[in-house]
Amino acid sequence: MREIDIGISLRPRGGRRFWVLVAAAVVVVLAAVIAVVATTGGDDDPVTERSMTVSGVPEAGQPVSLDASVFLPRTQPAPAVVLAHGFGGSKADLAAQARTLAGRGYVVITYSARGFGASGGLIHLDNPDYEVGDARRIIDLLATMPQVERDAPGDPRVGVAGSSYGGALALLTAGYDRRVDAVAADITWNDLSQALFPVGTDAPGATGVFKQQWAGQLFSQAARMATSDGCGKFAPDVCAAYQASAAAGAPDANLQALMRASSPSSILGRITAPTLLIQGQQDSLFPIDQAVRNAAGIRAAGTPVRMQWRTGGHDQPGGDITPSVESWFATALQDRKTPDSGFAADVPDGALSTDTGRSSARQLTASTLAEAQRSRDVTLQGPEQTVNAPAGGTPSAITAVPGIGSLLSAAAAATGAGALSAIPGQVAGFVSSPLDADTLVGGSSSVRLRITPRTTTDATVFVSLVDVASDGQRTQPSGLVTPIRLTGLTPGQPTSVTVPLPTVVRSVASGHRLAVAVSTTDLGYRLPVDARTYSVALESPTLTLTTLTGRAESTPFPWGWPVAGVIALLVLIAGISVATWRRRAPGDAATVGKGVSPIVVESLSKEYGDSYRAVDDVSFRVEAGQVVGLLGPNGAGKTTVLRMMVGLISPTSGHIRLFGEEVRAGSSVLARVGAFIEGPGLLPHLSGRQNLDLYWAATGRSAEEADFETALEIAGLGASVDRKVRKYSQGMRQRLAIAQAMLGLPELLILDEPTNGLDPPQIAEMREVMRRYAATGRTVVVSSHLLSEVEQTCSHVVVMHKGRLITAGSVDELAGAATSTLAVDDVAAAQRVLEAAGVRAEVVESRRHLEEAFLDLIGDESR
């Protein structure tokens, strides 16, 4: 079969199916290339970009200029799109998106909001008189441009889109200017006061809790452009109101008025343009509930609304909005039709259970949020508990940190450093029984609590929903909490309060439990300065759980066509590589390099960019039928050698030959190799059997050649093979991964730490499997730190230390035979003396264990 040159030389197998895949992938790649040329091409670039200055709303009697750019499509006149940037950004942030939209046939205008970039003026936080006034002047400009379609004189066909600060501006502009024909707002607020001083309950005496970490970060972005008053580019009234409110920990009347004017909640009933609302699930600044409120207000006026809960948000990237915005504007602006209303939610782990019980898609859709949501009661258990709040809130629980969300707390839990989100003595918990089915939590659940202050007339607590795995690991979805501050209380007297829990999307596996945690501290919020004690109990044992259901669909490429083309190319390469890696049937095996050693390593070295030599001049040979143990302490270079052996990385110098053929990425000889290196790469939402089926299907070979029954027998999973992998223990995942590597019974099997997570009987079984496997003439290479297992399993060993080869040979040679220091004659004489004394004696040779030999070889450093 001829070679196909796509950057690496490959000899793919798989017949007709392979070529169909190649053709499909090439079509996608060509489409991507065309899209790239259409949006970023050189001399024939259909998009023309021009910089301009636009007059904004005057400030304090002085003119204000706005730095803007317009992107013109090839075909004109065309509908227009105004793109608004996020807080602290500029028009430069929007250039790529603007060029893409212009390539789709829109006149696009971007500009730096007043106070940012090269624009003049001061920051008024999307004030109707200033920032919204500027946006209306941009629309005035579009109305005069001959390149822009018009609905009427002075009325351009225009949509407005933006994220965060820009998203609020888009909504406010649509509310104040009826010329706007479509809106797309991403990760933005409904009520700025509720976002920065959230009131977590409607109970009497409830007040807002200052979200000081986020507020401080936003203020510092503009204030760092230092002025004598420390206000930077903030307007004086905004700066003074914020500083006074930050000092008090509550918004004063001036700040409340400013925030109310800058909140879409004040004008939702005036928006008549079809509106797309996108909100991030990983967002502790503007959580999903802000979009829910916006959607309800706009829909109440009869305006079409579509709401999408995407992955990512202010706390972490993800869920690019470009495809959704393009589709929305294409219908509303180009086709001049009313876009379909509806609801969609991305499910981060891809596990969606539909009414048919099938689980595959990444997005759930419904006609409305109300149609998608269901409510069920879950019973919580737990006695009344006493919790303490330290003076000044130190130490504080860490749930979400601006910009990184819950990643810090999750990392601490994953590394064994403990859960930062729950400090002992500061948290009360109430937990359910194990769930009897997979549950997709989606929305705001609620619980009714009883809180008793012991020494104060107020109480501040933070309530969250927690997913508790069967092994006890706790996950707080997106690190979100509901802050509760109650005032006007009587010490020793309980107060009952209904708490709406954070709006989250979380797939909770069967067998997991749900818990409600009540903490006295949270680093993201202003905390009381004095120490206090509360008693917390369940007023009702019922957790009213909100779940999602609907149609399960696949999400589109989230990164746009240029990157999608690159991904398609990578998928093509990966698909060929997998097909090449997968082995032929045993009887078909020896057409390449027949009779040669399965592995020959010659002068192999691997050096990284910082001059670190992970592998240094290593040479060894492995023969057919051997079980070879690759030994060495951590950092010896074992895994690096294995990765080079299967073409995952390239050596700096030297060679690796498998069955006589040099190894490179995609080498055809890799079809004779089965490998398990650095984790199994299993798909958690599929069953074990489905993972094996999918893995083998990528080879293009028939199911009969896979020898599934042998692989399943090796795995020993029994009925669990039909369970979803995300419910597997570590040992079960390990066994399935080994079975996956053995599909098709490869001639060379390479296993990196295969016994990790296995119990002693499973280790013994794996030992026997490898022995039997090698007895058929096949070869096994196994990396392991369990020296006793290597000694019992392997016929030969290769010992490495600090990237260098220490020795290689048979286990018997390494461990050594007789180590007696007595001469033969002396032994015989001693035996005669003992027998004369009536003591029966036999000569037994002493033998070192492999561990002793290993430690002698690598020296005292690793003892």
Q: Is the dihedral of CA 190, 191, 197, 198 positive or negative?
A: negative
- Minimum mean pLDDT range among 123-132, 491-500, 667-676, 822-831: 822-831
pLDDT at residue 497, as a whole number: 96
pLDDT at residue 317, as a whole number: 75
Split at pLDDT 50, 70, 90, the class of 104 is: very high
Tens of pLDDT, residues 635-658: 788 888 998 898 888 899 999 999
* Burial grade of 22 (CB within 10 A; 0-12, 13-18, 19 or more): middle
| Tokens 């343009």 -> residue | 273
| Tokens 């737990």 -> residue | 382
| Tokens 């200033």 -> residue | 130
For residues 753 and 784, is the Cβ–Cβ distance under 8 A? Answer: yes
Residue 846 has pLDDT above 90, yes or no: no
pLDDT at residue 536, as a whole number: 97
Within 13 Å of residue 847, how many CA atoms lie on the same side as its CB?
13
Residue ranges of E strands in 164-228: 180-186, 206-207
Sequence letter at residue 116:
F
428: CB partners within 8 A, 6+ apart:
382, 385, 387, 517, 518, 536
Q: How far apart are CA 784 and CA 793, in angstroms?
A: 11
| Tokens 């910082």 -> residue | 610
- For residue 844, how many other CB atoms are within 10 A of its CB? 8
Domains and CATH numbers, the chain: 1-45+559-581 (no CATH), 48-191+263-337 (3.40.50.1820), 206-259 (no CATH), 371-549 (2.60.120.260), 598-809 (3.40.50.300)
Does residue 813 sit in helix, strand or coil? helix
Q: How far apart are the first and last CA of the chain?
A: 53
Split at pLDDT 50, 70, 90, the class of 39 is: very low
Q: How far apart are CA 487 and CA 203, in angstroms?
A: 10
For residues 676 and 841, is the Cβ–Cβ distance under 8 A? Answer: no
Secondary-structure breakdown of the chain: helix, strand, coil percentages, each rounded to the nearest 5: 35, 25, 40
Does residue 532 sit in helix, strand or coil? strand
Strand-by-strand arrangement of the 796-801 sheet: 673-676, 748-752, 779-783, 627-631, 796-801, 804-810
pLDDT at residue 4, as a whole number: 26
Does residue 705 sit in helix, strand or coil? helix
Give the residue-averaged pLDDT of 244-253.
90
Sequence letter at residue 473:
Q
Give the residue-averaged pLDDT of 689-718.
77
* Burial grade of 671 (CB within 10 A; 0-12, 13-18, 19 or more): buried
Tens of pLDDT, residues 370-423: 999 999 999 999 999 999 999 888 888 888 877 666 665 665 555 444 467 788
Tens of pLDDT, residues 132-184: 999 999 999 999 999 999 999 999 999 999 999 999 999 999 999 999 999 99
**Per this entry, what is the length of the chain?**
863
For residues 161 and 273, is the Cβ–Cβ distance under 8 A? Answer: no
The tokens for 144 are 């005069």
| Tokens 């007040």 -> residue | 207
Pairing of strands 779-783, 748-752: parallel
The tokens for 160 are 């407005």
Whose CA is closest to 302, among 270, 330, 333, 339?
270
Give the residue-averaged pLDDT of 261-284.
95
Within 13 Å of residue 297, how many CA atoms lie on the same side as its CB?
22
Percent of the chain scoring above 90 in pLDDT: 48
Pairing of strands 275-280, 206-207: unpaired
Percent of the chain scoring above 70 in pLDDT: 77
CA-to-CA dists, residue 538 to 397, 430, 518, angstroms: 22, 8, 11
- Minimum mean pLDDT range among 242-256, 524-538, 749-763: 749-763
pLDDT at residue 393, as a whole number: 84
The tokens for 814 are 């390494």
Sequence letter at residue 533:
T
- Minimum mean pLDDT range among 264-278, 285-299, 662-676: 662-676
Q: How far apart are CA 696 and CA 698, in angstroms?
A: 5
pLDDT at residue 605, as a whole number: 92
| Mean pLDDT for the chain overall | 81
CA-to-CA dists, residue 651 to 596, 604, 677, angstroms: 22, 7, 17
Residue ranges of E strands in 525-677: 532-538, 542-548, 551-553, 599-607, 613-622, 627-631, 653-658, 661-662, 673-676
